[in-house]
Amino acid sequence: MSIILCIWDGWGKSLLKKNYHNAIELANTPYYDEMIKNCPHSYIGASGCHVGLSDGQMGNSEVGHMTIGAGRIILQKLPKINSLIENGNFFELPNFKLLLNRLINESTLSKSNNLFFNKKVLHIIAIMSDGGVHGHINHIIKIASFLSQNNIKIELHLFSDGRDTSPASAIEYALKIEELCYNNHNITIASIMGRYYGMDRDNRHDRTQKAFETISYGNINYSTNHQYTFEKITDYIKNSYNSGIYDEFIIPAARINYNGINKEEDLILCLNYRSDRIRQLLYALINHLGSNNIYTISDTGIDSINSNIILFPEVITDNLGKKISDLGLKQLRIAETEKYAHVTFFLNGGNENPYPNEDRILIPSPKIPYYDMQPEMSAEEITYTLIREMKSKKYHFICVNYANADMVGHTGNLDASIKACEILDKQLGKILKECNNSNYQLILTSDHGNIEEMFNYIENTKCTAHTSNNVPVIYYDNYFYRINQKNTEEYTDENFYDKKNIKIYKNIFNKYFIKNPSSGLSDIAKFIIEIINIKYEL
């Protein structure tokens, strides 16, 4: 008997008593409902301290998968960077000091006022948001302020959010950045754009190209022929709203007198600490500027700029994938493009390469502007691939991710989100049938909440962000599923079913998820490994 870990990305459990925008409850999900009724299940922590974030901080896909894979709580980048900045140790990190020295050592003395001004300009690229998933506005403010005190000329290139924050919250953040610039005359805003352009991760290079050209060439952006400029970003954002274009999709624009990056002199510092949504843009910038002049706050998985990382990440070597590999068992990871990095790189604790006996299958995500246009995404193809591999009985462990609930939930489209839930349930029915045929156990869970709350009742607007809700963990085995349905017929084929251990498995589930009041995503790997050790008498 083998195990499938099925992760429904963005599927949480809402605690709101009057939630008229809960796509899960509004959807017709008979297979999911039957599992909740008949299988051991619980709701576990996937945010805040359960995943190494600050209390109240919503979870996200990177943190969720990393915590699942690690089997323990890892202090995540946001609280780690916050702490280092607050105690001043961030500015003493070797590569930050190297960056500062490169900027200062190129300074020239102005004879008129005896002040130092720098030939080099530092271009800071960052998400302008307090969502905390990819970066944080506080990091922009505090790091830029520190550099400004050292007479560094800074140009800011800002991505508006609208996915991990409210769809029209960029004005609030832009006002803080304008205040930063007012108080520090050597800090200016060079460009603004929605994350749709600057943070694409699905190889939509037309979006990345617009972001790259706006940052690199400014108001002399020639190849895309879009002359979007601004004098004041708050005015530009307001005009964008008036045109029906909100934070995530704000069209790239440059300050009216910004002439781009000086390839011979300037340096770049990227403050987005999550790698998957910044790689495409960084690759384009590396091709243009070279790798030596680009610094990143954290690891991006790009080898050519690894030496310029400010805060080197913790690589988690004793993770779920490594343990399964060390046991000599075969494993498989399946996901579509949007979540492929999560079931590979992040689940493996930041290790890019597969372990021995680990195979990976990438299913392309559909090439559409917005996923509410196609809420099924690539779910059918994923299920077809999963069932084909289940039938082969080649693998002892399979991890599969379905992106629908998260990616469609981010659009704020309730009808499309309901459809996404129903599509997932349809896939679940197919998987359960094959679990019975091919003798697989199934663990169904999620990495964070999203689609269960599609409206912000406090702000009276669509909710496109993740939530801090718990997520389900459900353990399916055909034997106790039938027992709970009061069907006492037992399997006669001893090779088909491991009857002697089913009560043990259920007790292990109870230990980690029912009797443990602080259970979270980190307990999933422990549960899987303990079952595997019993199952294969290891």
Contact (Cβ atoms closer than 8 angstroms) between residue 530 and residue 508: yes
Residue 110: the pLDDT is 43
466 marked as part of a ligand binding site: yes
406 marked as part of a ligand binding site: yes
Pick the CATH number of 2-74+316-535 from 3.60.150.10, 3.40.720.10, 3.30.70.260, 3.90.1300.10: 3.40.720.10
Residue 313: the pLDDT is 84
Residue 118 is inside which H or E element, if any?
A: strand 116-118
Pick the CATH number of 78-308 from 3.40.190.10, 1.10.10.10, 3.40.50.1100, 3.40.1450.10: 3.40.1450.10
pLDDT, mean of residues 350-368: 96
Quote the mean pLDDT of the chain. Answer: 92
- Burial of 339-349, coded b for 16+ CB within 10 Å and e otherwise, reads bbbbbbbbbbb
pLDDT grade, residue 491 (50/70/90)?
very low
Phi, psi of 360 (to 5 degrees): -135, 140
pLDDT grade, residue 302 (50/70/90)?
confident
pLDDT for 156-178, tens place per residue? Answer: 999 999 999 999 999 999 999 99
CA–CA dist 104, 116 (Å, integer):
9
CA–CA dist 53, 70 (Å, integer):
15
pLDDT, mean of residues 303-320: 90
CA–CA dist 66, 51 (Å, integer):
9
21 marked as part of a ligand binding site: no
65 marked as part of a ligand binding site: no
Q: CB-based contacts of 220: which residues, under 8 Å, 6+ apart?
A: 259, 260
pLDDT, mean of residues 356-369: 97
Residue 482: the pLDDT is 62
Residue 231 CA: distances (Å) to CA of 190, 219, 226, 416: 10, 12, 16, 38
Q: State the residue for tokens 């060439």.
A: 217
pLDDT grade, residue 486 (50/70/90)?
low
pLDDT, mean of residues 517-531: 97
β-pairing verdict for 187-194 and 253-255: antiparallel
Tokens, residue 425:
């349930």
- Active site residue ranges: 61
| Range name among 190-194, 423-427, 449-453, 456-460 with the lowest pLDDT average | 456-460
pLDDT above 50 for 367 = yes
Residue 307: the pLDDT is 87
| Range name among 56-70, 291-305, 350-364, 376-390 with the lowest pLDDT average | 291-305
CA–CA dist 414, 450 (Å, integer):
12
pLDDT above 70 for 537 = no
pLDDT, mean of residues 308-318: 91
Q: State the residue for tokens 């990143």.
A: 296
pLDDT above 80 for 479 = no
pLDDT above 50 for 499 = yes
Residue 226: the pLDDT is 56
pLDDT for 72-111, tens place per residue? Answer: 999 999 999 999 999 999 999 999 999 999 998 865 544 3
pLDDT above 70 for 494 = no
For residue 107, list its beta bridge partners: 118
pLDDT above 90 for 223 = no
pLDDT above 80 for 114 = no
359 marked as part of a ligand binding site: no
136 marked as part of a ligand binding site: no
163 marked as part of a ligand binding site: yes
Q: Which residue has the higher pLDDT, 70 or 487?
A: 70
pLDDT above 70 for 44 = yes
| Domain residue ranges in the chain | 2-74+316-535, 78-308
pLDDT for 254-297, tens place per residue? Answer: 999 999 999 999 999 999 999 999 999 999 999 999 999 999 99
Residue 424 CA: distances (Å) to CA of 175, 362, 418: 41, 18, 10
The candidate with the shortest Cα–Cα distance to 451, out of 333, 511, 371, is 371
pLDDT grade, residue 484 (50/70/90)?
low
For residue 108, list its beta bridge partners: 117
For residue 268, list its beta bridge partners: 123, 294
pLDDT above 60 for 492 = no
102 marked as part of a ligand binding site: no
Residue 538: the pLDDT is 56
Coil, strand or helix: which one is 123?
Answer: strand
13 marked as part of a ligand binding site: no
Residue 267: the pLDDT is 97
pLDDT above 60 for 225 = no
Q: What one-character DSSP code corresponds to residue 227?
A: -
Instruction: Give the whole-number percent of the chain exceeding pLDDT 70.
Output: 91
